[in-house]
Structure 1
C-alpha cells in the first residue's frame, strides 16, 4: 500500500502571511534597530514599512531587494511553492520595479517530509519565477522543524519611479487589485470547510503575479503603492497613512471577496492573525457603531500574495481600475480615500 501523503499544513503552527509577527511586536523589535542614514545611496530602508529596500546604482537604475518566506498555507507541495514565490516577487512589483533575479530560501524537516515533496515545492516556485521571466539563481537551505519556503527577490527600476508608502496625497483614492479573504479561506481549508470551487478560487488569486505593478509609476495619477499581505487591508492602509502623514477612509463593502470568504467569516471562521492584527493597530481605527466583528475580521484578514493597494489621484482612479481589469485583475475596486488628518483609518459602511 502507498502511504497517505503528509499534509503540509499539519507540519506547521501557522501558514502563509498569517504567520508573520504581529505589527505591534514587529514595531517593538525594530524600535532599537539603528537607522541606515549613513548610506546616501539607500533610497528606501525600513523606516516607513515599505515592501523592499532600494539602493541607487546610478542615475538611471535602482536595485530593489526584498525577501519573503513562510510555512505552508495549503497541502499540495507544488501549489505551496507557487504561492510563496508569487508572494515574494509581489514586493518588487509593489515598488514599481521589474524583477530580475531570485534566490530560494528553503527550510525543511527532512526526516518527516519526502524528498519528492520538497522537490515539488521548489518546482512550484521555479515555475512562477519562469512566468515572471527570472531565474532562480541559487539560495540557501537548512533542516528545520517546519517546512519553510520563499525567495529573495531582486528587481530594477528608475530611481525617479520608485513607489513607496511616503508619497500618497490627500484626496487620493485607494485602488485594490485583488479580492480579500485569503486568510479566512486558508483557515477554512485546514478545517475541511471549503465549499466546491473555494480551493480553486484560493489558488487562482494567490498565484496571480502582480506584474501590473511593474509600470505603475508611468500610469497617470499614481502616487504611492504597497501590497496587501499579512497585516490585512486595514494594516497596510495604515502603513501608507503613517508613511505619508495622512488619514484614510475605507469603504467596508467596496472590496471584492474571494469566493466563500464572507460565508466562512459569518460562520465564525477566522485566523489567529486577524485578532493579533486588530490588537496591534485597533487603537488607530474607527469603526461604525454596531460594526459586526466578522466584517472587521475580514478587513484585518491576513492576505497571502494579496493585491496591490494604490494611491491615485481621484480623476485618474476609474481609468486605473479599467487598466487593471484589462490586465487580468478583474477584482479591482476603489476601496477608500486619503485625507488630511492624523494617521489613522476610519471604516465607513459606504462611500461618503
Structure 2
C-alpha cells in the first residue's frame, strides 16, 4: 500500500474513542434491551444472561452460535486494527465453547477523508486472522460513515451440551484468566501519544481458540470473555447470572508490562470509569485503592477468557462462592 497513507493518517484520531471502550455503558445497554427477549423453544442462549453470542439448537445434537462485533480504531496501524477487530469478533464464539465457521465483514468508512488503501489494509488484517482461525470470510456490508468502524459478524457451531455460558457458575469453582489485563490503558496512551505497544497488539491479536478448547476439554461449562466492560464488569455479569458471588485476589491478576505506568500517568478511558461506576454498588472494593480498582475495571479490547474452572497456563485469580452481601469482592 501507499506508505505515505499509512504514516500520515493516525486512525485513532478519527474516532471519539477506541476499541471496546466505545461500547454503550453496560447499565444503559441493559435498560435499552430490557423486555425485548422473546422465548423460543430452540433458543438456548439469548438476551437474558448477557452472554457473548446467541445459541440456537439445530437438530438433535447441534447448535449454531451467532455474534456481531465491531468498533472504532484501537490502534493507528490499519492492518493491526483489522487483525484485532477480527480476533475480538471471533472471541465471542470461542467464549461460548464453539468453533467459528463463517464470518462476514462489517465496515464503516469515511471515504472522503481516509484513503481506500487503508480500508483495504483493515480488511486484509481481518482476513489473515480469520484464515488463522480456519474461518472463511465471505463478503459483508459497508457504509460511508463519518467515523471508521470495522468488525465481523461470525457464525459458529458447538455441542449444545458443552456450551460455555454466563449462568453456569457454581460455588467452589476457581476463576482463571487467560490473558493479562492492561490493554485499555495502553491503548488510551497510544491514542494520546502515538507510542506503540507491541505487547498490547500481540495480546489483542492472539486468538482465544486454544483457551476455549482447553476449557471445554476440562469439562468447564461457565466462561465469558473480558472486553469492554472490564474484568469487574464481565465478572459481575457472570456471577449475577449464576446466582453466586465472586472473590478476586487482586495480587494474582496479571497485567501487561507498562499498564501500571500508563495508569499512573492518567491514561484511563471514559469507558473504564463508567465500568467502575456501574459495578461499584455491587462490589466490595475496600481492600484496594482507586487505581487498582480502575485497572480491574479497565476496558479491554480482544481480551482473554474468564473461566470458572482451571485452564492450562492460565493463572487462578479468584473463586466463586455462595451469594453474599456483595456480588463481587476484591481482597
TM-score (norm 2): 0.95
Contact map agreement 2:163 2:221 (CA 8 A) in 1: no
Deviation for aligned residue 1:269: 1.9
Deviation for aligned residue 1:309: 0.5
Q: Tell me the alpha carbon deviations over residues 95-129 of structure 1, each in whole angstroms, 9 at most, x when there is no partner.
A: 00011000100100000010100000000000000
Deviation for aligned residue 1:341: 1.0
Unaligned runs of 5+ in 2: none
Contact map agreement 2:73 2:81 (CA 8 A) in 1: yes
Distance 1:206 1:73 in 2: 10
Deviation for aligned residue 1:220: 2.9
Distance 1:75 1:193 in 2: 8
Distance 1:339 1:221 in 2: 19
Distance 1:214 1:237 in 2: 17
Distance 1:174 1:193 in 2: 35
Alignment-derived partner of residue 329 in structure 1: none
Is residue 2:19 matched to residue 1:36?
A: no
Distance 1:67 1:100 in 2: 14
Distance 1:249 1:255 in 2: 12
Distance 2:228 2:4 in 1: 37
Deviation for aligned residue 1:191: 2.2
When residues 341 and 106 of structure 1 are mapped into structure 2, their CA distance, relative to the original with a 3 A threshold, is same
Alignment-derived partner of residue 317 in structure 2: 335
Contact map agreement 1:161 1:217 (CA 8 A) in 2: no
Contact map agreement 2:272 2:294 (CA 8 A) in 1: yes
Is residue 2:221 matched to residue 1:223?
A: yes
Is residue 2:9 matched to residue 1:11?
A: no
Contact map agreement 2:162 2:221 (CA 8 A) in 1: no
Alignment-derived partner of residue 28 in structure 2: 25
Distance 1:27 1:214 in 2: 26
Is residue 2:298 matched to residue 1:301?
A: yes
Deviation for aligned residue 1:190: 1.6
Contact map agreement 1:95 1:213 (CA 8 A) in 2: no
Distance 1:2 1:173 in 2: 50
When residues 297 and 206 of structure 1 are mapped into structure 2, their CA distance, relative to the original with a 3 A threshold, is same
1:249-328 equivalences in 2 (<5 Å) = 249-289=247-287, 291-312=288-309, 317=310, 320=311, 323=312, 325=313
Q: Tell me the alpha carbon deviations over residues 15-36 of structure 1, each in whole angstroms, 9 at most, x when there is no partner.
A: 1000001111111111242x22
Distance 1:2 1:180 in 2: 33
Deviation for aligned residue 1:288: 2.1
Alignment-derived partner of residue 242 in structure 2: 244
Distance 1:267 1:122 in 2: 34
When residues 2 and 141 of structure 1 are mapped into structure 2, their CA distance, relative to the original with a 3 A threshold, is closer
Contact map agreement 1:94 1:308 (CA 8 A) in 2: yes
When residues 75 and 276 of structure 1 are mapped into structure 2, their CA distance, relative to the original with a 3 A threshold, is same
Distance 2:150 2:328 in 1: 33
Runs of 4+ in 1 over 6 A off after TM superposition: none
When residues 278 and 240 of structure 1 are mapped into structure 2, their CA distance, relative to the original with a 3 A threshold, is same
Unaligned runs of 5+ in 1: 326-331
Contact map agreement 2:178 2:211 (CA 8 A) in 1: no
Distance 1:213 1:50 in 2: 17
Equivalent position SS for 1:222: coil
Is residue 2:67 matched to residue 1:84?
A: no
Distance 1:138 1:245 in 2: 41
When residues 298 and 2 of structure 1 are mapped into structure 2, their CA distance, relative to the original with a 3 A threshold, is closer
Distance 2:164 2:214 in 1: 8
Alignment-derived partner of residue 57 in structure 1: 58
1:92-107 equivalences in 2 (<5 Å) = 92-107=93-108
Alignment-derived partner of residue 232 in structure 2: 234
Distance 2:330 2:114 in 1: 44
